[in-house]
Amino acid sequence: MSRQLHFNLFLHDTGHHEASWRLPAADPYANLSLAAHQHLARVAEDAKFDSVFLADSPVLWSDPGRRPAGKLEPTLLLAALAAGTSRIGLIATASTSYNEPYNLARRFASLDHLSGGRAGWNIVTTAGDAAARNFGLAGQPLHRARYERADEFLDVSTKLWDSWADDAIVADKAAGVHALSERVRAIAHEGAHFRVEGALNVPRSPQAHPLLVQAGSSEDGKDFAARWAEAVFTAQPTLAESQAFYADLKRRVAAAGRDPDHVVILPGIVPVIGATEAEARELDAELDRLIAPQYAIGTLAHTLRVDPARLRLDEPLPDDLPGEDEIEGAKSRRTLIVDWARRDNLTVRQLIGKLGGGRGHRTFAGTPVQVADTIQHYFEHGAADGFNIMPAVLPSGLEAFATEVVPILQERGLFRTDYTGTTLREHYGLPRPANRFPAPKKAALSASAG
């Protein structure tokens, strides 16, 4: 089979444009509605998307006056979505800075069992002092320290998922043996950040390990992705930047001793779709007109680590902004925004308009054919293995993409017309991880079985 696209749906209340909730047809309570999320997941599954994804953070995001700010706990919501779907993958964000490996490994293994092998974990280290203060800390740990903890966190989690052998459960009623005890192992991990005895109290799940996803694009983030990630969500506003990121990360994966084809790179794209190009551009302009600058400036100032009073709407960004090395959170996003503004000579007003649609991801307004052409061009020119689809408006933007763009790509032989597997790993064409622990000697196994 020829190489084909992968699509992940990034679920985000009324849409990724920050003003989408203000449109007349929008449901401003969609962020708290199971029915709204179920509808989106079913539309994506009918269109044969690989997965749906929920972002999350253990902190109230931005000013609640700006847009719907409430976030349901993602693994709980995805467990509910698992009951109403049968094939589509289910990816949730969870922090390595504000969780413990045992609890989180158990949660994702449970979701993988409940969904029949469709769970994925978007691994984040969580930037920002506000989140730290929710966990009794005065401020966030240093950037490098967060990634060091994350690295050990993944080591412990994968050990826990491997603590049960695939064939541990025999359920032999006649012999009165449910599982072979020697096939369940303590991991006895002792490291700089964690001491975990194990074993996990959930047997090895259908995928062995939930799909591991990562989204950080700093130097530490890319090195971490090269070691651990199997899918990468990324944000670049231009083709050239996407090509550079794609080549760099694939090189790092190979240098880490892994197969670059086993890491799927999915840049975000925010499509605004109309029957004509003029119709699409008018919707895009309407959304931008609804942006509330007083909130947008505050968010931009927080990302750039400057006083909001220094950002004047009709002037460019100040020349003396703190550099990437001077901040501890969201380093790659800060650099993306500043480089974009400098390169295109944007005023603050123009910049917040562009960020309002996709927060630095590629935004595109056009017809279904134009959107399909853009996706195909990226895919065939070394910029993407697929896309993180981020409709500006939900549910209408997803419905338009699913019914008008996907069929074009299917006709071109670039996207599946049906699922060929049942697990998320199979959708992404990724192998099931082998168990890192050696099998016990046959003599011991026979004794236990006898």
Residues at the binding site are 56, 93, 143, 147, 217-218
Task: Judge contact between 66 and 18, C-beta under 8 A.
Answer: yes
DSSP H stretches of helix in 8-166: 34-46, 74-84, 101-115, 129-133, 143-161
Binding-site annotation, residues for FMN: 56, 93, 143, 147, 217-218
Helices H / strands E in the chain, number of each: 16, 13
Tell me how far apart the alpha carbons of residues 175 and 430 are, in angstroms, rounded to a whole number: 37
Tell me how far apart the alpha carbons of residues 277 and 289 are, in angstroms, rounded to a whole number: 18
Tell me how far apart the alpha carbons of residues 116 and 441 are, in angstroms, rounded to a whole number: 30
Nearest by Cα to 233 from 3, 11, 412, 21: 11
206 strand-pairing partners:
none
- Token pair in block for residue 117: 């092998």
DSSP label at residue 383: S
Tell me how far apart the alpha carbons of residues 450 and 436 are, in angstroms, rounded to a whole number: 26
Four-CA torsion 309, 310, 311, 315, nearest 10 degrees: 130
Cis peptide before 44 (omega within 30 of 0): no
CA atoms in the 13 A half-sphere facing the CB of 426: 14
Tell me how far apart the alpha carbons of residues 108 and 72 are, in angstroms, rounded to a whole number: 16
